[in-house]
Amino acid sequence: MDLRTKRLGTLTAAAIASFCVTGAFAQDKPSGEPIKIGILHSLSGTMAISETTLKDAMLMLIDEQNKKGGVLGRPLEAVVVDPASDWPLFAEKARELISQDKVAAVFGCWTSVSRKSVLPVFKELDNILFYPVQYEGEESERNVFYTGAAPNQQAIPAVDYLMDEGVQRWVLEGTDYVYPRTTNKILEQYLKDKGVAAEDIKINYTPFGFSDWQTEVSAIKDFGSAGKKTAVVSTVNGDANVPFYKELANQGIKATDIPVVAFSVGEEELAGIDTGPLVGHLAAWNYFESVDTPENKEFIDKWHKFIGNDKRVTNDPMEAHYIGFNMWVKAVEKAGTTDPDKVIDALPGVEQANLTGGMSKMLPNHHITKPVLIGEIQSDGQFEVVSETDDLVPGDAWSDFLPESKKLEADWVDLKCGNYDTEAKKCLGDAAK
């Protein structure tokens, strides 16, 4: 069947889990008409390596909630679709979920280009998207809740960490789309503000699914031979990471020589790689599977039980879905309805325990508070945390390091605007109803 028309159908997560365990479908404890939840993640194509696990995580969360009695006494039902790493198809599938399947909310997208594709649909049809992945910022939409990291919760702290380690030359290596380009625009300005010379910054982009890394890695190696400590800040996304890291190893680039800090490589991406040569390279996230807290242990145990495989790892965007899903549940219960408008208004101020032991809060700008962790790759594919913020960091929708953005404020509670110009005292975009 053509992937453009492929539909995975409507699935009751609790029933799926029960069938896997017992061989027969069990009846859900909650009663009444199901509340449908859309799951919009690529299960094929270049992004499937990262997104398939998020679909599975959502099925687990829905299953767990149904065991608790559902929401408002009604069962939850997952509607899973495959946008197949095809950015326009994301918009088409989002429209189907909202208009055809009548979902109450959607959990999905990974790349910013997929998120940008669906934004007009969520605004037009007035539904809710929970977006669980780190992104470039420079956005705050009324219909979107950003549970992944903004640049000030990942990219900036990662650069600060490397500066403290003595790095003076910088390679900004990314996949060629909006997230790497905007993030690197922010980082380039930040580095220059910190006194880094333009000749000590190298920026390079490659396409999605890029596999022939020999020339690019050679250029990184050459750039790092100038006598100044050099690091790579990687916004390479999807399955291109596998050959990228393999080529780093092939050319003998060790973390002690040119450390790589990645923003899109976690436990899932490392699962298919020989991590021995990569030990010491870094990733900046807000969660690692190796975090030792009771909350995380319970989450990992539930995940292994649900998925039936003790070797399946957890990762940061899974935790973001965990936080976002539980915030949605609390907001629905607070509002007493699944009506998107009322749930949107109820979400700011909602708190949910994250898996590192803190309490994340949904802010008026529709971002959340998160800890920032820097982890070193270990030989077993896990990360050892080498740096962690003392407090949770509030997500900043608009960068303080871009002149055109520092004057903007996002506030959907009081200002009811996602891009309020604090100098002109007016909303530059769509104001809330």
The kind and range of the H/E element at 230 are strand 230-235
Q: Rounded to whole angstroms, how far apart are CA atoms 415 and 214?
A: 50
What does the pLDDT profile of the chain (433 residues) look like in tens digits?
Answer: 333 333 455 444 444 444 343 333 344 478 899 999 999 999 999 999 999 999 999 999 999 999 999 999 999 999 999 999 999 999 999 999 999 999 999 999 999 999 999 999 999 999 999 999 999 999 999 999 999 999 999 999 999 999 999 999 999 999 999 999 999 999 999 999 999 999 999 999 999 999 999 999 999 999 999 999 999 999 999 889 989 999 999 999 999 999 999 998 999 888 877 898 889 999 999 999 999 999 999 999 999 999 999 999 999 999 999 999 999 999 999 999 999 999 999 999 999 999 998 999 999 999 999 999 999 999 999 999 999 999 999 999 999 999 999 999 999 999 999 999 999 999 998 766 5
Are β-strands 105-108 and 10-11 bridged in parallel, bridged antiparallel, or unpaired?
Answer: unpaired
Q: Encode 226-258: b = buried (16+ Cβ within 10 Å), e = exposed.
A: eeeebbbbbbbbbbbbbbbbbbbbeeebebeeb
Same domain, 143 and 21: yes
High-pLDDT (> 70) share of the chain, %: 93
User: Which pLDDT score is estimated for 27?
Assistant: 41
Residue 4 domain flag: no
Residue 14 domain flag: yes
Q: Could you tell me if 337 and 326 are in contact, meaning their C-beta atoms sit under 8 angstroms apart? A: no
Length of the chain: 433
Mean pLDDT value across the chain: 92
Q: What is the DSSP string of 74-124?
A: B-EEEEEE--TT-HHHHHHHHHIIIIIS--SEEEE--SHHHHHHHHHHHHH
User: Which pLDDT score is estimated for 389?
Assistant: 94
Same domain, 380 and 315: no
Same domain, 32 and 181: no
Residue 159 domain flag: yes
Q: Could you tell me if 38 and 122 are in contact, meaning their C-beta atoms sit under 8 angstroms apart? A: no
Counts of helices then strands in the chain (DSSP H, E): 12, 20
pLDDT tens digits along 313-323:
999 999 999 99
User: Which pLDDT score is estimated for 28?
Assistant: 47
Token representation of residue 393: 């960091």
Domain with residue 73: its CATH number is 3.40.50.2300
Same domain, 38 and 132: yes
Same domain, 172 and 111: no
Same domain, 204 and 342: no
Which domain range does residue 219 map to? Answer: 152-291+373-394
Same domain, 243 and 320: no
Residue 270 domain flag: yes
Residue 418 domain flag: no
Same domain, 130 and 175: no
The single-letter code of the amino acid at 304 is H
Q: Could you tell me if 231 and 261 are in contact, meaning their C-beta atoms sit under 8 angstroms apart? A: yes
DSSP label of 368? B
Q: Rounded to whole angstroms, how far apart are CA atoms 295 and 420?
A: 37
Residue 21 domain flag: yes
Token representation of residue 239: 């399955």
Residue 405 domain flag: no
Specify the 3-state DSSP secondary structure of 397. coil
Q: What angle do the packed helices 294-307 and 48-67 form, to 10 degrees?
A: 100
Beta bridge partners of 230: 169
Same domain, 389 and 241: yes
Q: Could you tell me if 130 and 107 are in contact, meaning their C-beta atoms sit under 8 angstroms apart? A: yes
Same domain, 63 and 156: no
Q: Rounded to whole angstroms, how far apart are CA atoms 154 and 291?
A: 17
Q: Rounded to whole angstroms, how far apart are CA atoms 270 and 242?
A: 8
Instruction: Name which of 183, 173, 196, 176 is nearest 134 in CA terms.
Output: 183
Total count of domains within the chain: 2
Same domain, 245 and 103: no
Specify the 3-state DSSP secondary structure of 9. coil
pLDDT tens digits along 266-318:
998 888 778 988 899 999 999 999 999 999 999 999 999 999 999 999 999 99
Token representation of residue 423: 């100098």
Instruction: Name which of 181, 302, 239 is nearest 51 in CA terms.
Output: 239
Q: Rounded to whole angstroms, how far apart are CA atoms 141 and 207?
A: 28
Residue 401 domain flag: no
Same domain, 378 and 239: yes
